[in-house]
Amino acid sequence: METRRPTNPAAEEIQVLYLSVLDHGFVSLVDYMGSDEDVERAARVSYGYGTRKTSETRGLIRYLRRHRHTTPSEMVELKLHCAMPIFVARQWVRHRSASLNEVSGRYSLLPLLFYRPEAQHFQQQSATNRQGRSGDSLTELYGDAIGRWDDVRRAAGQQYEWLVSHDVARELARIDLPLSTYTQWYWKIDLHNLFHFLAVRADPHAQLEIRAYARVIAGMLKRVAPLSFEAWADYELGGTHLSRGELEALRRLVRVQGRDVEARAGERLAEADLATLGLSKREVDELLIKLEAAPTVEDFDLDPATARPAEEFARAMEAAVPRVDRR
């Protein structure tokens, strides 16, 4: 049956395909509603699909995003099926402006699948960023860490299996499963809130594991609403906000002459000058980072050829469920 709903061929191509993330996780675009045209249509509150040129739609969408007129973008929605370790889910679920339904550990037996970081990502606590990791891979420690992870997970899995095999309630049996255990959910979110999610979770400062998911979702979004995606990448992901003090610092270095911008001859701002503009040492550090290098904005392109069938993931999940359920 033909549909009169707006669809996007690039999104149709990946719809219901399952893209692998981390060692046992995935993201699948189950469904979507709307595209760039719906953002435009809502903004203009217009009747039906007219003969607007792509360039006009693009111009409007970029204007809306620059000026934070965000409600039109709420007219587009994505529905995803995702599997992720619980510690990733915990960061993810902080984004409250979405609808989700997670697998119930009270009702279902959970697959005993645990996330193991790859050797290259096994790094030490960062000295500069208290929330992150940095430096070379801790290769010498990695083997021991794997052994210890395996011990803990085997014990937790055996305890889970023992409890459910004695018919202890599943809601109790699960309580010692580690944060590395995979969970899964359906997640539905509109474009406005998804942009916020991606801004913080696809950012290089986000934890590597949730970022892996955000990158795939960004690639899906790019196929659903490419013009909105482009505007977001230009103004938010690859752009930055400037504080009053930061803007003042730039104004001391350059000036507007008619339609041109020119450098003020001989101007230089030392750190002490920046401090007089009210910038703290940390703000100065952040300003330097903003100005030093243009951030590399990934293209987030997805390769549908890397997708695997839903059944493959379903089988892997099923195989990892404790045997007691299969008596």
Ligand X SMILES: Cc1cc2nc3c(=O)[nH]c(=O)nc-3n(C[C@H](O)[C@H](O)[C@H](O)COP(=O)(O)OP(=O)(O)OC[C@H]3O[C@@H](n4cnc5c(N)ncnc54)[C@H](O)[C@@H]3O)c2cc1C
Nearer to ligand X, 3 or 131 (CB): 131
Quick note: the x/- pattern for ligand X over 240-279, rule CB under 6 A, is ----------------------------------------
Half-sphere exposure of 93 (CA within 13 A, CB side): 15
Q: According to DSSP H, which parts of 225-294 are helical?
A: 226-232, 244-253, 271-276, 281-292
Among 67, 96, 268, 282, indicate the residue that binds ligand X (CB under 6 A): 96
Considering only residues 52, 95, 116, 308, which one is a binding residue for ligand X as defined by CB under 6 A? 95
C-alpha–C-alpha distance, residues 12 and 254, integer Å: 47
Whole-angstrom distance, CA of residue 121 vs CA of residue 87: 16
HSE-CB for 83 with a 13 A CA cutoff? 22
Residue number, 132 or 239, with CB nearest to ligand X: 132
Least separation, in Å, of the C-beta of 97 and ligand X?
Answer: 4
Q: Is 47 helix (H, G, I), strand (E, B) or coil?
A: coil
124 makes contact with ligand X (CB under 6 A): no
Q: State yes or no: residue 54 binds ligand X (CB under 6 A).
A: no
Taking the CA of residue 171 as centre, how many other CA atoms within 13 Å lie in the half-sphere pointing to its CB?
A: 3
Choose one: 67-75, 93-101, 109-117, 288-296; the region binding ligand X (CB under 6 A): 93-101
Residue closer to ligand X, measured from CB, 146 or 200: 200
Among residues 314, 325, 313, the alpha carbon closest in space to that of 161 is found at 325
Residue at token pair 């960004």: 218
Tell me the closest approach of the beta carbon of residue 95 to ligand X, in angstroms. Answer: 4
Question: From the list 71, 97, 99, 280, which residue makes contact with ligand X (rule: CB under 6 A)?
Answer: 97
Which of residues 214 and 224 has its CB atom nearest to ligand X in the complex?
214
SS3 263: strand
Among the residue ranges 24-32, 50-58, 76-84, 92-100, the one whose residues contact ligand X (CB under 6 A): 92-100
Nearer to ligand X, 79 or 116 (CB): 79
* Radius of gyration of the chain, Cα coordinates, nearest whole angstrom: 24
Catalytic member of 201, 211, 215, 223: 201
Q: Rounded to an integer, what distance in angstroms lies between the CA atom of residue 140 and that of residue 316?
A: 31
Neighbours of 166 (CB within 10 A): 9
CB-based closest residue to ligand X: 96
Span near ligand X by CB under 6 A; candidates 21-29, 94-102, 117-125, 248-256: 94-102
Site string for ligand X, 166-205 (x = CB under 6 A): ---------------------------x--x---x----x
Q: Name the pairing type of β-strands 133-134 and 124-125.
A: antiparallel
* Least Å from the CB of residue 193 to ligand X: 5
* Catalytic (active site) residue 201: yes
**Which CB sits closer to ligand X, 200 or 324?**
200
Helix axis angle for 36-44 and 54-66, nearest 10°, is 70
List all residues 6 or more positions away from 235 whose beta carbon is below 8 Å from its beta carbon: 62, 65, 66
Task: Tell me: does residue 94 bind ligand X (CB under 6 A).
Answer: yes
Size of the site for ligand X (CB under 6 A): 8
- Active-site residue set: 201
Q: Interface residues with ligand X (CB under 6 A)? A: 94-97, 193, 196, 200, 205
